[in-house]
Chains A and B, each alone.
Chain A
């Protein structure tokens, strides 16, 4: 007999596929309902609107997802996105930097902002919550100080055209998002670095004992998050055609909501990129559906909040079920000598 015969392995699978699967089911249900009640929902125009919105939101969610997966969090995702947007806009408008170097500089800036978060977390030992709450204010302050709250309107056409470009009817920005998703998928499933980041998120002590450079990993993951936040900011700038200082101010909730709905564990160690995309799509569809149904879009927040609660509840039910099964199994082998009685 080998030990494998005593340990059933069926149970935990539910939890880790639960997120992506329930998010996908949610997407199907909402789509079905909307196509039935809102005639405009199934139009090419509307699909493009959804695709643009999703392109931005999914990248925002990726920025949060990578930090969550490594066991941290980043409240400054929106601040980094906004700061990047105005810096890229400013470079192009006032310094006449061509779009490509401006965008690259913006991505670099995001990586630096993120890495600063990571270094502060590692060096000070403060929680990521406090550090990024503070740096969010710092980055937003820089943004508003530089711009005095005024957008950069006069971006070069060669940049603005990206926002409307399509390939066979599919917006280019949406394709950018898919490429990023694929790259992240590769990183976290196939590349050593990605696996190390997940190891740190799953069990930091064990990762340390196994020789993972934990501090360096945490700095890297924050840098990666900053980079993704910057890209999200640039995507939105390209789409709007204006570098708004207010970009990113409303990202916080959805940056957490999409990964959570999609099954990424808040405690770290597990992520699902399709799950995050479906989570982001779900949020996008809800906002879109409210518009389609002529409901005040101010209700969007309420529905998003309810969806987070629902996703959390599903996760909790799974966790409790798993605990119960484990306990039952642990005691299964202990012989009971006294008679059982009572209720």
Chain B
């Protein structure tokens, strides 16, 4: 593996964790392809990449949740196999996953020293002592709350710090932090970064996963960038890389997919206009326009507030301010049902399994659910034949691979499930369709089929809002791109479909906003 010129780093910085050409595949996806990474003693090492680049998989390989298919894994120069999270612990690897893993009804101290409770079924738990013993670890991460405080009443940042304190209490020398600042406020993030800095001073080696470049420049020493499950470049010292170079490594070049034909004439008639629209979940007033037959891309990193704004538009969250104009007339959309039936606005959820589909129901019923009231006959009887006919029509149009319309949706592949989800909304013939992350977790072939489908819909005059964190996808499809960052629309860019220039511009806007 490539040697690293340890610029600005003392010779005493020994590698503590080395990954050498690690590969990990899942059915249909090569999540990691020969990924190498070197973490040195006492450094903060950034692990960067777009969503789906393989960062979380890599973290899970390091912590023994997954086992690599190939490649070498060394700690302190010795090759090891880590078969379980417990084994990773025993090698001094502590991890704070993106999702919280605390016991909410327990005290802070109990959560920090949870191993004193676990596996000691018949022992008496001396809580006063646990609280006393947990205090130094809590102080280590800068938590000055009482250890007898219950965790559920703490802020997200405090919970994060408790998880770090727990890892430290297990003598972690290597700390893996997966987007620790994603769900916390700016002040809290600041305090967390200071804690990381202090831990580094105490000799802890930290692997830091983040999307926020300014944090990287603030605390990290070196960086590994993943793209499509591969090293975008070997591990390098951060001081050698400019922000632009780093962004270039993250986004890379477009896939070798054929460009879609140019959209012919786009009607400039405004269909939907939001003016300072806000809701409890989308608290910053947002304004934008959508014209007929337009594909409006909403790009942003996960958690940038795009779904929240969409929910305010379709009436899933009650708007608390601003207005929504449909064909120039101010409307109040009271519910998702009326958005669909009265205003003909459809929303395809990014969470198709939980919110979009009835997995245990047949395909036909899933597709027809949006038009049930149309299928009902005079005396309220339900026309099963018509339901099946509607399903068949869309199956053919979308190329859904199924054995019959009676097949259960849960048995379809992800890509085909997504097509059913789309079919369901097309059945209503909406005027405006909001599609949230249409191709996450879908194989490349189906992805391009869906792209073509979305393109065709717009060509037929439907107005589409495409929410996506997939840069190539958005540059390929959108006519115009709104860039979201921290719940705000930070840019409104016409898309010239030049991938390099567009992706640079978009990333620059996000980074610029955060810096």
Contacts and interface: CB of A to CB of B under 8 A. Distances in A.
A331 interface: yes
Which bucket holds chain B's interface residue count? 35 or more
Given A6-B155, A195-B106, A203-B103, A336 B322 contact: no
Contact of B276 (A209, A210, A327, A338): A338
Interface of A: 1-4, 6-13, 16, 189-193, 195-196, 198-199, 201-203, 205-207, 209-213, 265, 269-270, 327, 329-334, 336-343
Nearest to A201: B105
A47 to B, nearest CB: 35
Contact of A340 (B86, B142, B143, B321): B321
A193 B121 contact: yes
Nearest to B124: A190
Interface of B: 85-86, 100-106, 110, 114-115, 117-125, 127, 142-145, 149-150, 152-158, 161, 183, 185-188, 191-192, 276, 278, 280-281, 283-285, 287, 319-323, 486-488
A192 B117 contact: yes
10 contacts: A3-B192, A6-B191, A8-B155, A16-B150, A191-B121, A193-B122, A198-B103, A198-B106, A199-B106, A338-B276
Contact of A333 (B100, B120, B185): B185
Given A209-B85, A210-B114, A341-B321, A12 B276 contact: no
Contacts of A336: 283-285
Nearest to A193: B121
B51 to A, nearest CB: 21
B103 A342 contact: no
Contact of B283 (A3, A7, A331, A339): A331
A333 to B, nearest CB: 3
B471 to A, nearest CB: 24
B125 A191 contact: yes
Nearest to B101: A206
The CB with the most chain A CB atoms within 10 A, among B100, B102, B121, B319, is that of B121
A331 B186 CA distance: 10
B185 A196 contact: no
B121 A196 contact: yes
Nearest to B156: A330
Nearest to B323: A342
Contacts of B125: 190-192, 195
Given A7-B157, A191-B122, A202-B103, A340 B115 contact: no
B153 A13 contact: yes
Contacts of A198: 103, 105-106
Contacts of A334: 185-186, 283-284, 486-487
A341 B319 CA distance: 12
Contacts of B121: 191-193, 196
Contacts of B281: 327
Contacts of B105: 16, 198, 201-202, 265, 269-270
Contacts of A270: 105
Given A202-B104, A333-B187, A3 B123 contact: no
A16 B121 CA distance: 25
